[in-house]
Amino acid sequence: MALLAVSNLGKQFGGLQAVSEVSFSVERGMIKAVIGPNGAGKTTLFNLITGSLTPSSGSVLLDGRDITGHRPHQIASFGIARTFQNIKLFPGMTVLENVMIGRHIRSSGGFIASMLHLPWVLAEEQRIRQAALERLEMLGIAELAELEATSLAFGQQRAVELARALAMEPDLLLLDEPAAGLNIYETAEVGRLISSIRQLGITVLLVEHDMSLVMDISDEIVVLSFGRKIAEDVPEAIQSNEEVIKVYLGE
């Protein structure tokens, strides 16, 4: 069974059909990319999958379970993590604290127990901290731990956001333009990183404009144009797909 199965998904904003009858699936362990011109509906698609937006039609299945219309925090707890196209780190908090929030669904200290700082809550706090530090080390940004997250350079903020998502230990990770705004070295680094994320057993669905990155790391590619899926195939086939070429050249 596919890890993620999207079927006939649609979203309407007033008169605008931002996503229209999109169906595809993502197998476990795969790196799958969604590409398409600006405004094609890629981010909207992500928002529909993660519950930030409610679909006008269609359904989303995660591991066979219908998650359509659930709230974002529920979908996160079902095992989907995401990053945002316009980075959304928590201001006024350190890098470490940002990543520690990624452990929210992996910990359980509640309101009363936290107020009383019960011993088990304090022990859990140490585990949260440790797990967050491990993610920072994995991404090579452990030395930034105590800095305010939103004060960092753009590329570093991207890394923090990724660390935060990885701290959730998701089954499926949605990355919305992880290489946007990065130079070619950083982009290559992101490529290696995504491949290594797969080694952790995390399935990746990404939106990306950098074609060489997409062709390099993806197993399969879905192409959107004006909210519709116009192609879905392996990278080589997408590169020679007439309709895809037309959409990209006509842009």
Partner 1 sequence: MRRLLFLLPLVILVVGVQVLTDWTDTRYYLTQLTMAAYYSLLIIGLCALMGYTGQISLGHAGFFAIGGYLSAALTTRNLAFFQDQAFFRLLEGAGILATGQDIYGAELVVVAPWAACLVAIIAAALIAWLLGIPVLKLKGHYLAMATLGFGIIIYRIALASEYFGEADGISEVPPFLLPFGLEVSGSFAVREANYYIAWGLLIMGLILLRNLIDSRVGRALRSIHGSEDAAGAMGVDTARCKLQVFVLSAVFAAVAGVFLTHYNGGIGPSEAGVMKSVRYVAIVAVGGMAHLWGALVMGVVLNFLSLRGVFGSYDDAVFGLILIGIMLFAPNGVLSLLNFSGVLDFFRRRRRRVKEPGGLR
153-172 positions binding partner 1, by CB under 8 A? 164, 168
Q: Of 37-45, 57-65, 78-86, 226-234, which segment contacts partner 1 by CB under 8 A?
A: 78-86
Residue nearest Mg ion (C-beta atom): 43
Q: Is residue 89 part of the contact set for partner 1 (CB under 8 A)?
A: yes
For residues 36 to 75, the per-residue mask of contacts with Mg ion, x marking binding by CB under 5 A and - elsewhere, is ------xx--------------------------------
190 binds, among Mg ion, ligand ATP, partner 1, none (CB under 5 to 8 A by kind): none
Nearest residue (CB) to ligand ATP, 12 versus 77: 12
Of the residues 17, 90, 156, 186, which one makes contact with partner 1 according to CB under 8 A: 90
39 binds, among ligand ATP, Mg ion, partner 1, none (CB under 5 to 8 A by kind): ligand ATP
168 binds, among partner 1, ligand ATP, Mg ion, none (CB under 5 to 8 A by kind): partner 1
Phi and psi of 225, rounded to 5°? -145, 125
Least distance (Å) from ligand ATP to the CB of residue 236?
Answer: 23
Of the residues 36, 55, 58, 155, which one makes contact with ligand ATP according to CB under 6 A: 36
Strand 4-13, strand 16-26: pairing = antiparallel
Q: How many residues bind ligand ATP (CB under 6 A)?
A: 12
Of residues 160, 179, 228, the one with CA closest to residue 22: 228
74-93 positions binding ligand ATP, by CB under 6 A? 85
Of the residues 44, 83, 203, 225, which one makes contact with ligand ATP according to CB under 6 A: 44
Least distance (Å) from ligand ATP to the CB of residue 251?
Answer: 11
85-114 positions binding Mg ion, by CB under 5 A? 85
> What is the SS3 assignment for the chain?
CCCEEEEEEEEEECCEEEEEEEEEEECCCCEEEEECCCCCCHHHHHHHHCCCCCCCEEEEEECCEECCCCCHHHHHHHCEEECCCCCCCCCCCEHHHHHHHCCHHHCCCCHHHHHHCCHHHHHHHHHHHHHHHHHHHHCCCHHHCCCEHHHCCHHHHHHHHHHHHHCCCCCEEEEECCCCCCCHHHHHHHHHHHHHHHHCCCEEEEECCCHHHHHHHCCEEEEEECCEEEEEECHHHHHCCHHHHHHHHCC
